[in-house]
Structure 1
Amino acid sequence: MASNSHPARRPTVTDVARAAGVSVATAGRVLGGYGKVGEEMRVTVQEAADRLGYSPNVVARSMRSGNTHSIGFVGADISNPFFATAMRGICDVAREEGYEAILMNSDDRLETERNAVRVLLDKQIEGIVVAPTSVTDVEHLKRAQEQGVPVVLLDRHIPMLDTDSVGIDNEAAAREAVEHLLELGHRRIGLLASVDPEESPELVSPPGSRKLIVHGVARPSIERIRGYISALGGYRIPPRRRDLRYSPIGDIAQAHQQAFALLGQRPRPTAVFAADNVTTQGLFTAARAHGLSVPGDLSIVGFDDLDWTTLVEPAVTVVAQDPLAAGRQAAQRLFLRIKGDTDPAEQIVLATRLIVRGSTGPVSPSAAGMPATD
């Protein structure tokens, strides 16, 4: 038998006024937070609103006031601890400003990111922090700016976009990590990196040179590969293509598979730099699967100081960055723009540090004696 029941109607200001025994105008002033109302009357109206389960129509209110007191964050992969922690920083700042943050996950897919930005704009948000999937296709971000919505970039800098960005010097951070291994005597050093399959790095040798140059868009992974090659170049060591392995962004299974293949080579590297937290995890598990002693058989340097890197034995040497500070800085820049700051766009570069732990050590005599081949 068909039911005659209907979904409960959302309580209105009129309903609250009737329940409180006051005029609609008085209820509107209390619930809208404007005008003068006595404390006793304010309490009466608020109690009535609570009893009825009244909540304001944010969209309607935003049309009247011109703002929603909300910002958006489009993260590349919120399951990644870096973006999860950065999100916490953004939400903390938003709360301090009396705003709410709406989270969207792009899954590092451009079309998903475009849709996320469209949804946020439809919700009348006042600003967006985004970790862009592409550093070349940014028309959707430009459109947001053209609509008067400020945009701040997290973890990426896009020269063609006139906006603030917060990130690190990826090339310098990677160079310091690999130089640490070189100073320990390692000369055959592998690299693992997560890359976008559609924007994979291209290693080319200039005519008449054994050097390799990395071609690719300025994503963090590409910049870290450049840092790796730069460090080797400082010791006059030509990188070998066979020692550079890539896996799709965020794919831990592929990261493990690529690491396992790298460590199965003969000769294998005596040390490996993993250029992000996903490949760091894949590398550590692959070393265990091969039965390698760390750092006796293999030295490991990873990226991001995650909890697990200090809970394993040995603890992992890592390049540490501060995603909480990055999120806070990005949100703070965004609120400056929301409040009307018109200063030129700023590229904020946060410091990193190399934390040396037990996973790196001098190259062992047996490993150093292995013949090197391309």
Structure 2
Amino acid sequence: MADVAREAGVSVATAGRALGNYGRVRADLRARVQAAADRLGYSPNAVARSMRSGGTRSIGFVGADISNPYFATAMRGLCDVAREQGYEPILANSDDRLEVERAAVNVLLDKQVEGIVVAPTSVTDVAHLKRAQELGVPIVLLDRPIGTLDADSVVIDNEAAAYEAVSHLLELGHRRVGLLACVDPEESPELVARGGTGRLAVLGAARPSIDRIRGYLAAVDDHRATSSAELIQYTPLSDTAQAQRHAETLLKLEQPPTAVFATDNVTTQGLFMAARRCGLAIPGDLSLVGFDDLDWTTLVDPPLTVVAQSPLAMGRAAAERLFERIKGDDRPAERLVLPTELIVRSSTAGHGQGA
């Protein structure tokens, strides 16, 4: 502003009134100030302006991995709602690393966003999110609820979705059903034997990956199918190459599974590539159920059976809830559970019945 005033030959106060459209300024001076601003490439500071207006009309979104189609699509839903409300979204990618998420939230707070939607990396270390709430910035959680944080969340029933997918395979006659799960290497779940039965249980705080493992184990138990740790492989988050390697380990067991459930779009792709690399026919040698109904799942041969969710609807719902909070809604925090659907295609068949 001082540079513009100097260039126009007016006081800083006059330049401020001219560019801020407040107070009285002669038309010729207003034109001179605007011309100087144009020459210097001046743009107003949104945060400073918000100190007068009472809000930046911006919200933040911290996604775990915005190169992942799930988060990219959810981000689109959030951006659509933000712009419908006359707000601009500020987007950050945490890379599923807690220290990056903390830094992103701090930057958003510095920019005085009016609310934040976040897909949290940790379900236990949430001090930075509580601090945002203490500063009066509402938080809405996407995909991953946090029991220790009093905040709205938009999720799916991950355990029920996995249970339905695995039950589909078991009802087709498969008894050795494998699981390829995408998990944070720093929060790897612990498999334990339950009592003297040899049946498996999983320990760990509730989050989508853990809940999908729970759904898998519950379905295997209810159908009295093989419950074995060797049928479960973990792969790091958002790494298709590692997902493929872990899938190959599963498929090359001495007694390999006849069907596998992959818990997200990364593991689904890795599993499909591993089956092809191992020369397995789908569904003749291996039935496959994946997660997320992405375009590629219908373009491959055979088209894949998948659990479908709507990240676009989830992103929109999270943003809509955030704006309700921004506008003063003070109801108790709510968990909004959106539906999933098992879409059966040609990648699954009865055991020994595939083409």
TM-score by length of 1: 0.87
1:209, distance to aligned residue in structure 2 (A): 2.1
Which of 2, 27, 43 is matched with 2:18 structurally? 27
Alignment-derived partner of residue 63 in structure 2: 75
Q: Contact conserved, 2:189 with 2:202, CA < 8 A, in 1? A: yes
Matching of residue 347 in structure 1 with residue 335 in structure 2: yes
Alignment-derived partner of residue 140 in structure 1: 128
Structure 1 25/73 Cα, relative in aligned 2: closer, same or farther at 3 Å?
closer
1:185, distance to aligned residue in structure 2 (A): 1.2
Identity of aligned residues (%): 68
Once the two structures are overlaid, the 10-residue window that deviates more, 63-72 or 283-292, is 63-72
User: Deviation string for 1:260-316 (max 9, x for gaps)?
Assistant: 110011221110000011100000000000000001110100000111111111111
Q: Contact conserved, 2:169 with 2:348, CA < 8 A, in 1? A: yes
Q: Contact conserved, 2:283 with 2:354, CA < 8 A, in 1? A: no
Provide the rounded CA distance (Å) in 2 between the counterparts of 1:339 and 1:224. Answer: 35
What's the secondary structure of 2:290's corresponding residue?
A: strand
Provide the rounded CA distance (Å) in 2 between the counterparts of 1:155 and 1:112. Answer: 18
What's the secondary structure of 2:211's corresponding residue?
A: helix
User: Deviation string for 1:335-357 (max 9, x for gaps)?
Assistant: 11111110010100000001111
What's the secondary structure of 2:106's corresponding residue?
A: helix
Provide the rounded CA distance (Å) in 2 between the counterparts of 1:264 and 1:46. Answer: 71
Alignment-derived partner of residue 175 in structure 1: 163
Alignment-derived partner of residue 289 in structure 2: 301
Amino acid at match of 1:116: A
Q: Contact conserved, 1:10 with 1:54, CA < 8 A, in 2? A: no
Alignment-derived partner of residue 237 in structure 2: 249
Q: Contact conserved, 2:56 with 2:114, CA < 8 A, in 1? A: yes
Provide the rounded CA distance (Å) in 2 between the counterparts of 1:14 and 1:58. Answer: 22
Provide the rounded CA distance (Å) in 2 between the counterparts of 1:16 and 1:315. Answer: 66
Structure 1 42/274 Cα, relative in aligned 2: closer, same or farther at 3 Å?
farther
Amino acid at match of 1:27: A
Structure 1 211/57 Cα, relative in aligned 2: closer, same or farther at 3 Å?
same
Aligned positions of 1:178-257 closer than 5 A = 178-257=166-245
1:252, distance to aligned residue in structure 2 (A): 1.3
What's the secondary structure of 1:327's corresponding residue?
A: helix
What's the secondary structure of 2:175's corresponding residue?
A: coil
What's the secondary structure of 1:72's corresponding residue?
A: strand
Amino acid at match of 2:18: A
1:35, distance to aligned residue in structure 2 (A): 7.7
Provide the rounded CA distance (Å) in 2 between the counterparts of 1:36 and 1:322. Answer: 52
Q: Contact conserved, 2:19 with 2:33, CA < 8 A, in 1? A: no
Structure 1 54/293 Cα, relative in aligned 2: closer, same or farther at 3 Å?
same
Provide the rounded CA distance (Å) in 2 between the counterparts of 1:144 and 1:340. Answer: 16
Matching of residue 57 in structure 1 with residue 48 in structure 2: no
1:65, distance to aligned residue in structure 2 (A): 2.2
Once the two structures are overlaid, the 10-residue window that deviates more, 230-239 or 144-153, is 230-239
RMSD: 2.7
Provide the rounded CA distance (Å) in 1 between the counterparts of 2:107 and 2:15. Answer: 33
Once the two structures are overlaid, the 10-residue window that deviates more, 75-84 or 231-240, is 231-240
Provide the rounded CA distance (Å) in 1 between the counterparts of 2:90 and 2:204. Answer: 32
Once the two structures are overlaid, the 10-residue window that deviates more, 142-151 or 62-71, is 62-71
Alignment-derived partner of residue 325 in structure 1: 313
Amino acid at match of 1:278: V
Provide the rounded CA distance (Å) in 1 between the counterparts of 2:106 and 2:303. Answer: 43
Alignment-derived partner of residue 113 in structure 2: 125
* Runs (5+) with no aligned partner, structure 1: 1-8, 368-374
Provide the rounded CA distance (Å) in 1 between the counterparts of 2:302 and 2:2. Answer: 58
User: Deviation string for 1:142-171 (max 9, x for gaps)?
Assistant: 011001111100001111100000010000
Matching of residue 262 in structure 1 with residue 262 in structure 2: no
State how many pairs are aligned: 353
* Runs (5+) with no aligned partner, structure 2: none
Structure 1 71/14 Cα, relative in aligned 2: closer, same or farther at 3 Å?
farther
Alignment-derived partner of residue 91 in structure 2: 103
Structure 1 356/197 Cα, relative in aligned 2: closer, same or farther at 3 Å?
same
Which of 275, 278, 282 is matched with 1:287 structurally? 275
